[in-house]
Structure 1
Amino acid sequence: MSRRVHAFSDDALGDDDDAVGLAERLRRGEVSAGEVRDAVAARAARLDPQLRGLALDRIADPVGGDPAGPFAGVPTLVKDNTEVAGWPITNGTTAYTPAPARAHAEVTRQLLATGLDAVGTTRMPEYGLNASTEFAAAEPTRNPWDPRFSAGASSGGAAALVAAGMVPIAHANDGGGSIRIPAAACGLVGLKPSRGRLAQNANGARMPIDLVTDGVVSRSVRDTATFLAAADRHRRNPALPPVGLVEGPARRRLRIGLVLDSPTGATVDADTRTCVIDVAELLGKQGHEITEATTGVDTRFVDDFLDYWGLLAFSVVTGGRWLHGRTFDPGRLDALTHGLADHYRTAMARTPVFLHRLRRLAHTYAELFTRHDVLLSPVLAHTPPELGWLSPLVPFDELKTRLVDYVAFTPMCNVAGTPAIALPAGAAGNGLPVGVHLSTTLGDERTLLELAFALEADRPWRRITD
């Protein structure tokens, strides 16, 4: 018996439309913006009590996007760590009392420039530090394919609600896999753009190494491609090649390196491995050259990234009052945040060394693309776990091990600053989605989108309504 939770129906949002399709119907006058908002509200009322993906509901009072943008009138959600003027953001924590934001973040302005209308915010784990949207003292966000399981993180609320049909596309950001992980868990497209492609995230700007890149999760490649082209037009970074609007596959044949062994040493489960190999075989049939590859990094990278992850948590614990004001109480932070901060206290003397090694990773990773045009790997080492497996209530040392064994492939691209995309690859034996991960060199999102179009055309993504 199916446990899937969705709200797709023949209303103003449509049963089949992606964001591009909805925008076209709005432009033709087949539906009105008011009818679309009514449909969003009805779907939210049905979905959110079951999935718990919404942090803030502003459907009745949205922030409108540019009416000239390609997504004019299309509703979207903003992640609960990104300022929308007049809206509070919590960063997924109860450690402070949020005040209304004074102004839009630069990323929000870029999002609105594409025409999207912001109708609320989505839940995330505390400060985005976990790989599952779970909380110490609140209901978790649930996976719409089976609500007993994790929707991933940290953009878990966004992915759950897009997959279930509340909105066709939603804002997300990624500091270690936080676009790609929930996209894989929920059967969506999740592109992490190159560092600098979109406006700099304020959280990333405060880091010694900026890991965070913003983007979207969507149900189609063309939605992600349209968003990236519009965002790139709004704010061009001259240090990166322009992307332009990618509208389909390319004819060129690529050297694709197949990576099945995790740099963390984690075992890739059988369902994930099978799905990735199936995609490799499909790419081979499309004419690409597939060869086995490795990432060129070892478990020392895991240690360095863990130390850096701890540094970020330590900065929250010790600097939260500076960031959030006098209401901030570090005693209300969850055990994962405190555990990571304590880990960093033991690693503090190594800070110059691990920062140096992490900064050098960009050169190591770039060298891979002298032999390969693209790397293909799993997104995650295993399928989405049941809720509770990655709860912040799990003892820290055990939770740390579980996270390292799960988030086995994504963080390298954040450190290197390179683009990567998660795509639906198929299903595990229990019916949950499995994602594949494509990555390439800095600034070459076009190649990833062209490959994604080719895969989507030859093997259309499963629909939650099937």
Structure 2
Amino acid sequence: MQTRSELAYLSTTELSDLMERGELSPVELLDHCLERIEELNPKLNAFVLILAEQARAQARDSEDRLRRGEARPLEGLPVPIKDNVALAGAPMTFSSRMAPAFDMPVDAELVARLRRAGAVFPGKTNLPEFGTIPTTEGEVHGPAHNPWDLTRTPGGSSGGAAAAVSSGMCPIAHGNDGGGSLRVPAACCGLFSMKPSRGRVTPGPLATEKFGALNINGFISRSVRDNARFLDVIAGPLPGDPFPAPPPMKSFEDEALTEPAPLRIAWTTDGPLDVPVHPAHAAALRDAAELCASLGHQVDEATPDWRDDMVAVLFIQLWASVIGSDVDLLEELGGDPTTIEPHNRALHEFGKEISANQLGVTMSKLRQYAWRVGAFWERFDVLLTPTTSEPPLKLGAHFELAADDPLFPLNRAGVWIPCLPLINVTGQPAANLPLSWHEDLPIGIQAIGRIHDEATLYRLSAQLEAARPWADRRPPIA
């Protein structure tokens, strides 16, 4: 039997092997996770809801299936769900006072797919209200803390998910990304994440793509293979999805186990906005480029045609429309829009000022911009950028000027994560690679691939993981 500390940091592949050999039961694994949550969550605030009894029933079912030799692909593996996605029998709060006060009657399709594959749901994870900012600091549930430094943010909006995985509460966690929300927390917590391509995972049947189809579901993990394995389970459209991604040539897990051919890789510190990059983060990017070159890839410093200060304005206009529709829907369910947090209230009011014609123009301009930027991937397979321009922020720093300007937390995001939201506009896949640390804090490198080409990113990411392993790095709290 593995020791308690060893069990906390095994990959899902290793955990599955132990369970299939009868050396670990799903109930034992879940109990271990619940013990870690009980011990560490008071310090990290990663989980906002613990579903111990529901999860134990799932784990007992998994135990029976393993005993009968009927194991499903993710049998007995614990994966928490971010609290902006429907999980049957549990509330969905969006970290907002506006949330309806009832348990969801059905699963989101991606949750249903995980459930059918045998996954176990120990709880739901923290996020900022409506997931609009890249730090997990909300009024309803309070801030999540970074396992590497409790005074800093674990990022957002999937910050609870990243804190849970980094601290060993669970081996992998669900999240989603509408402007960096999988990549930022992974960068802040020293983990791997993949933002899949637009249309790779259906948001239905309860949620929709909304304007611009910015948001996509995925996972934060320590292992590249684990991440690919779970994406295999949730990938695929529902009938009627407007942007279905073409099916992959083979499983993403197989891609993660395949050595990449020599790639054309570009790198740049020059983002869409004129934002300085912290010297340690710039050095980490150059180091990542050199590592790629040492592995036989053709590496060049090159920048897409993406410098445009208006992009941030257009993106916020689009997000204002998205949040406005969410707030209006929750109001129809009985929620009070005056209770939302100041930056979201300001965003909602801003959205009301945008006419249908203006929204159409905004979407057209962003689409034209995406075409212009996307031409870069005709020359290169992958682009490397800093995931964040500076280290994980101190808790509260994202709101330091919010009293004078309620939209400051949203505008501040453009300074901290200048290279991320654009990739939600283009719909391309993008990974965070935890290749460097500075002063005991992780530094993330973003790898951006061609639209619908997660395969290349998984191959390259696994190669880099093998060349410079990161899974054994443990935060002090662990």
Provide TM-score, normalisation by structure 1. 0.91
* Matched position secondary structure for 1:257: strand
Equivalent of 2:313 in 265, 278, 303: 303
* Matched position secondary structure for 1:41: helix
Within the alignment, does 1:64 sit opposite 2:58 as a pair?
A: yes
Q: Could you list the per-position Cα deviations for residues 283-307 of structure 1 after superposition, in whole angstroms to 9, with x for gaps in the alignment?
A: 0111111112223222221121121
Within the alignment, does 1:313 sit opposite 2:294 as a pair?
A: no
Is contact 1:12–1:35 with CA below 8 Å preserved after alignment? no
- State the AA in 2 paired with 1:363: W
User: Matched residues in 1 for 2:206 and 2:417: separation?
Assistant: 21
- State the AA in 2 paired with 1:307: Q
Aligned-residue offset at 1:129: 0.5
Is contact 1:203–1:212 with CA below 8 Å preserved after alignment? no
User: Matched residues in 2 for 1:148 and 1:256: separation?
Assistant: 36
Paired residue for 2:89? 86
Q: Could you list the per-position Cα deviations for residues 252-272 of structure 1 after superposition, in whole angstroms to 9, with x for gaps in the alignment?
A: 111111121111221111111
The verdict on how the C-alpha distance between 1:183 and 1:238 changes in structure 2, with shifts beyond 3 A counting, is: closer
User: Matched residues in 1 for 2:314 and 2:228: separation?
Assistant: 33
Which residues in structure 2 correspond to 1:268-417 (within 5 Å)? 268-297=277-306, 298-322=308-332, 325-326=333-334, 328-348=335-355, 350-391=358-399, 394-395=402-403, 396-417=406-427
Matched residues, percent identical? 32
Is contact 2:133–2:410 with CA below 8 Å preserved after alignment? no
Paired residue for 1:110? 113
Which sits farther off after the overlay, 190-199 or 353-362? 353-362
Which sits farther off after the overlay, 196-205 or 152-161? 196-205
Aligned-residue offset at 1:11: 2.4
Paired residue for 2:177? 174
Which sits farther off after the overlay, 383-392 or 208-217? 383-392
Within the alignment, does 1:135 sit opposite 2:138 as a pair?
A: yes
Aligned-residue offset at 1:234: 9.9
Q: How many residues align?
A: 454
* Matched position secondary structure for 2:266: strand
* Matched position secondary structure for 2:473: coil
Is contact 2:343–2:407 with CA below 8 Å preserved after alignment? no
* Matched position secondary structure for 1:150: coil
Paired residue for 2:7? 14
Within the alignment, does 1:45 sit opposite 2:38 as a pair?
A: yes
Structure 1 unmatched runs, 5+: 1-8
Q: Could you list the per-position Cα deviations for residues 362-387 of structure 1 after superposition, in whole angstroms to 9, with x for gaps in the alignment?
A: 42233111111111111111111000
Aligned-residue offset at 1:315: 2.4
Q: Could you list the per-position Cα deviations for residues 80-99 of structure 1 after superposition, in whole angstroms to 9, with x for gaps in the alignment?
A: 01111111110111123431
- State the AA in 1 paired with 2:463: A
Which sits farther off after the overlay, 274-283 or 223-232? 223-232
User: Matched residues in 1 for 2:53 and 2:207: separation?
Assistant: 31
Aligned-residue offset at 1:465: 5.2
The verdict on how the C-alpha distance between 1:319 and 1:60 changes in structure 2, with shifts beyond 3 A counting, is: closer
Runs of 4+ in 1 over 6 A off after TM superposition: 233-236
Provide TM-score, normalisation by structure 2. 0.89
The verdict on how the C-alpha distance between 1:148 and 1:100 changes in structure 2, with shifts beyond 3 A counting, is: same
Structure 2 unmatched runs, 5+: 66-70
Q: Over the residues paired in the alignment, what is the CA RMSD in angstroms? A: 2.3
